[in-house]
Amino acid sequence: MGTKRLGTKRRGPLRGASSAQRSRKERTLRTELSRIVLIPSISFLALWLVMTATGTFQAGTQMLSVIAGRESAEVLDALAAELREERRLTLVHLGDPERTPIHDRLSDQRETTDTARGTAEAEIGSDILTGDLPGDTDALGRLRSGVDGGTVSRAEALDRYSDLIEDLGARSATRLHALENGAGLTEAEMAQDLVGAHEEFSRANALLAGAIAAGRMDYEETAHFTHLTASYRNTLGRLGPDLRGDVQRRYKAMREAEPWTATERLSRAVVTRPPVREPDAPGEAPEWNFAIGVGADEWEEASQGAERPFDELVSAQLERAVATAWGDAVHSIALALAGCVFLLLTGTASIVIATRASRRLVGRLSKLRNETLAVTDTRLPAIVDRTQNGQRVNLSEELPRLSYGRDEIGQVADAFNAAQRTAVGAAVKQAEIREGVNRVFLGIAYRNQALVQRQLHLLDEIEYDEEDPRTLQRLFRLDHLATRARRYADNLIILGGAQSARRWRNPLSLVDVLRAAISETEDYERVRLTSAPRVRLRGTAVADVVHLIAELVENATQFSPAGAPVDVNCGPVAGGLAVDVEDRGLGMTEEGYEAAARTLSEAPEFDVMALPDEPRLGLFVVARLAARHGVRVRLFPSPYGGTRATAILPDALLEGEENDAPTEPVMVPDQRQAAPGPSGEGAAR
């Protein structure tokens, strides 16, 4: 039952070794490792630095150029995206200046654009979005002022915004030239073409959105829109088959998505609408068909839904171009390193020495590791299990000594030999202590149980002959105390791994089982048994279930205020019958419920030496009894602030009543008015 904490004893030879000896042995291993690592490493490093410095420097410069180009292109593309959205909202605003929501969205978008502009200028290190004239440092601001003042038309706003975006595209293209190297040339060119197609798509989107807001689209706008849509379609059709990898998948997904197909359908409807409108009356001249036939919400939903994947497609191609250029730079470094092949000639001798020494050392360490794992994973657990089961173990035969010489590896093997023998010795001692404590516990428990049982029989005889009510009441109290003492003796027997001497052959009514359990507790007057189904409990489980319920009830009475009631309720559940014991105490912490749940579910082996300062032996007893009969016990917080213990009795333990009546609940009188016999057993004892 007890547990001795395991430890290791330091061997005398190891403790007595002089510092000079330890230093000499450490130098042996250190020298061998130094010879293995330092000699070839220093030779290789010196020659490698001489031969590869130039090539590595050039490749590193190329990598830095790729990184700088990628970062600059990212911020410029982000600013261009914000300018495209501002352009679209500006044209919608110019088409219908009275729409307040669009004006508010335009104001917010301008702030977003300014933020992106500041980020880009900080990255580039110079002013951007400037005009063509010298000293014009804020072309965007002048354009916004013209829009707000009503001096800029939709066509002019479209052209001026597009000029600013094209200027950003030119700057981005300059950065992309850093990626043009070998295979990266094709990827960078396709990225630039996709950027141009994206701009044409966005420009067409803004143009049509402004025309829809104005409610009309003239010939010039229609021709411009037709040119833009044809241009980006032609570019996508030309580039589509050449796109590769994730970019190709994104391209196909974009073309097959609903927003893109809707955008294509609506744009084709605009382009193919009748060019002239038939006159309303005979004799009138035909007019240009200004009607568009596409709703604002419909176009915005479709075009904006297609804008996002198009932007992601461009970003993916840019990333691919960067990755290709980066791979070219890495390849350049690899070519530079390839020039160091001659190092094989000068480093052959050092490599041979290092290989032989390392193989010898690694072989010994691998063998030690394998033998150590074989002992710890297989032999040692088997020996510990056998000692715990009471079997004798010959350590000399079961644990062969690991012999690896007298160097550092041999010392490690000796230390492991000492550790494993100490561990097995401690396990043997622990098993002997546990067996001895179990015998003591069981001996005391059986003697106490026999004495209490004789005391109960004697009390039955005295109670039968006694007629004085006052004396009889005292005898009942004494009978009750003796019954509790018998249960405590049963606790020791159960914790010792044995079974109680009490047995029932015949089934017993569940009501009698619960009454017997309640009567075995100290404050049984506080316990209220409200209802119980008309079922019987198998005789083989009666004693243990009575004991289990009694422990739960006593726990509820002990950890709840004096005088507070404890309720016992029963009801059928899936697969069995639930017995709830609910108190009105202070309850437990969340950690306490978790610890109790682990104890009740795992039924751990009872260990006296490992118990806390305030052990709750009832949990161990309940766990043992529940595991013996397949009863599930759980503790939950009670709505009254206390704890609710639920024990689910499986169907295998239950039987119907003698008259095969259905198992409907039976109302049980208040225990304080119809208390059971003091012994709590009646016919059960």
Domain boundary among 338, 373, 394: 338
Q: Domain boundary at 435, 468, 501, which? A: 501
**Residues 442, 496 contacting (CB under 8 angstroms):** yes
Helix axes 100-124, 19-95, angle to 10 degrees: 140
What confidence score (pLDDT) does residue 677 get? 38
Predicted confidence at residue 1, as pLDDT, reads 39
> 479 and 529, same structural domain?
no
Domain tally, the chain: 3
Residues 549 and 439 reside in one and the same domain: no
- The whole-chain average pLDDT of the chain stands at 77
Angstrom distances, CA of residue 158 to CA of 78, 86, 151, 209: 19, 11, 14, 11
Alpha-carbon dihedral sign for residues 72, 74, 75, 81: positive
Query: Residue 481 — very low, low, confident or very high, per pLDDT cuts 50/70/90?
Result: confident
- Evaluate whether residue 534 is within a structural domain: yes
**339 has pLDDT over 70:** no
Round to whole Å and give the CA distance between 148 and 143: 9
The token pair at 186 is 């094709």
Indicate whether 423 and 565 sit together in one domain: no
Q: For the chain, give percent helix, strand, coil, nearest 5.
A: 70, 5, 25
Q: Is the pLDDT of residue 425 over 90?
A: no
Pairing of strands 566-573, 527-533: parallel
Sorted by sequence, the CB contacts under 8 Å of residue 23 that are 6+ apart come out as none
Q: Can you say whether residue 661 is alpha, beta or left, with left for phi > 0 and alpha for psi between -120 and 50 degrees?
A: beta
Q: For the CA atoms of the chain, what is the radius of gyration?
A: 45
| The two structure tokens encoding residue 192 | 């630039």
In the predicted model, is pLDDT for residue 262 greater than 80?
A: yes
**CB-side neighbour CA atoms (13 Å) of 202:** 28
The residue among 522 and 492 whose pLDDT is bigger is: 522
Backbone angles phi, psi at 620, to 5 degrees: -65, -45
The CATH number that applies at residue 561 is: 3.30.565.10
Q: Which candidate, 492, 531, 498, places its Cα nearest to that of 514?
A: 531
| In-domain check, residue 601 | yes
**Which residue has tokens 């803004």?**
206
Cα–Cα distance, 630 to 615 (Å, whole number): 24
- Residue 676's pLDDT band, with cuts at 50, 70 and 90, is very low
Q: How many Cβ atoms sit within 10 Å of the Cβ of residue 250? A: 19
Most confident of 390-404, 461-475, 520-534, 609-623: 520-534
What per-residue confidence (pLDDT) applies to 610?
Answer: 46
My answer on whether 94 and 229 are in the same domain is yes
| Whether the predicted pLDDT of 293 surpasses 70 | yes
Q: Answer yes or no: is 10 within a domain.
A: no
Q: Which domain holds residue 677?
A: 502-684
The domain boundary residue, chosen from 501, 526, 542 = 501
Q: How far apart are CA 117 and CA 64, in angstroms?
A: 24
Decide: 302 and 212 in contact? Cβ < 8 Å. no
Residue 628 lies in a domain: yes
Same domain, 541 and 573: yes
Tens digits of residue pLDDT in 125-140:
666 666 554 444 578 8
- Across 463-467, average pLDDT: 80
